[in-house]
Amino acid sequence: MNLLALSFDQALVDRRAAAHKEALARQESYASELLRRSPGSRIWITVRATNRGQTMQQDLSVGALEIRAAPSSTAGFAYTAYSHGRSLFHRQGLDLVTTQSPFVDACVAWLLRKKCGVRFLTQLHLSTLDDPYWLREGPANRFRAQLGRWMLREADAVRVVSRAASTWVQEQLKVPSDRVFLIPVGSALIDEAGLPPRRPYHNKTVLFVGRLSPEKGLTTLLRAFAGVAERSARLLVAGDGPSRPALQALAGSLRVQERVEFLGWVSQGDLANLYRNAGVVVVPSLHESFGRVIVEAMSLGTPVVATDTQGARELIVDGLTGRVVPVNDVSALAQAIGDTLRNPERAFQMGLAARSHVREMLDPQALCAAQVDMWLKVAAT
């Protein structure tokens, strides 16, 4: 089986990226499993690179896996991905094209099907395309929503990451159930969960992990943190992004800047230690399809407080495996954070329950096998 994947995972081609090794290892595991199931198979990945210099963004070839960096512009990426697909079809034969989203990359796959007859599978990593917070982020998302709906209907198959997304695709878009594959998002940190969890007794560290951008809800978290009664608590912010200057200014205006530390991007190994040493991980997102941060924290036995997004509802049983509060509710978020910090034994028990739940739900080997099984089924239909 020959497969072309169109990806936005820039860590695959950027050796400077903290997640480069993890991203490459994940793709290598897919290639190994595909070779085991279908000897002689190959995977090509065309990645939309960043607009930074190309010195570290290099093509890679590892066994049955080849990765190519494409230009960062929409037109440049689309042209390169389409040309690569046509060339592969004529030189090697191509059985399936997969796309990371139902947007520009799906358009390329649709064209390849039209010109070459290659089947295509697209993925929906959002919970829905009518999420009000996502639509309000900009007019481009309203256009993407319409394009995405059409592409999801047109695709030969759709991979979704949550039960909510599966229901939405089938009920709202009328995609037949046999064309919808539910495969959650895993994490390399789940492998760390074999280590015994550390008891977060009297630990007043609040941890946020993620991109510093408006949809991640850091403004709400900072305001909530300022209202937490435990004045010995500190907030660690792991990640970077365009909102960092504004968030640092907000911390100053709230007079909590001495208790808030912006760490920037953190390596995967250091991130595991941050999770394990935190008293609570907070995920204040405005919208979240699945929530990798939630998965990572839960897998290491760290209690999580999250806003009521699709991702949180998919993973957390409120009060049992974590806490869920309304989106954008500063008071409710502050109370949940404070309650967790003041009750370390209860928080520890929630962490244990969460750890067990995630290990059962997101076994890395099972997820890898499910991904390859999906490819083989779609290519064979």
The string of pLDDT tens digits covering residues 235-267 is 999 999 999 999 999 999 999 999 999 999 887
At residue 124, the 3 state secondary structure works out as strand
pLDDT confidence tier of residue 216, bands split at 50, 70 and 90: very high
pTM, to two decimals? 0.81
In this structure, is the dihedral angle defined by the CA atoms of residues 352, 217, 72 and 81, taken in order, positive or negative? Answer: positive
At residue 185, the 3 state secondary structure works out as coil
Q: What is the mean pLDDT of residues 136-154?
A: 93
Q: What is the pLDDT of residue 55?
A: 40
Q: What is the mean pLDDT of residues 198-213?
A: 82
Burial (CB < 10 A; 0-12, 13-18, 19+), residue 117, is: exposed
Pull the structure tokens for residue 118. Answer: 């290659």
Task: Say yes or no: do domains 2-184+363-380 and 189-361 share a fold.
Answer: yes
CB 325 within 8 A of CB 285: no
Q: What is the mean pLDDT of residues 182-205?
A: 68
Classify domain 2-184+363-380 by CATH number. 3.40.50.2000
Higher pLDDT residue, 43 or 63? 43
C-alpha span between 119 and 125 (Å, rounded): 20
Q: What is the pLDDT of residue 54?
A: 43
On average, the pLDDT of the chain sits at 89
Superfamily of domain 189-361 in CATH is: Glycogen Phosphorylase B; (3.40.50.2000)
At residue 131, the 3 state secondary structure works out as coil
CB 182 within 8 A of CB 256: no
pLDDT tens figures, 6-49:
999 888 887 776 677 778 888 999 999 999 999 999 999 999 98
With both helix axes pointing from N to C terminus, report the angle between 244-253 and 218-226 in degrees, rounded to the nearest 10: 20
Q: What is the pLDDT of residue 188?
A: 63
Domain boundaries, the chain: 2-184+363-380, 189-361
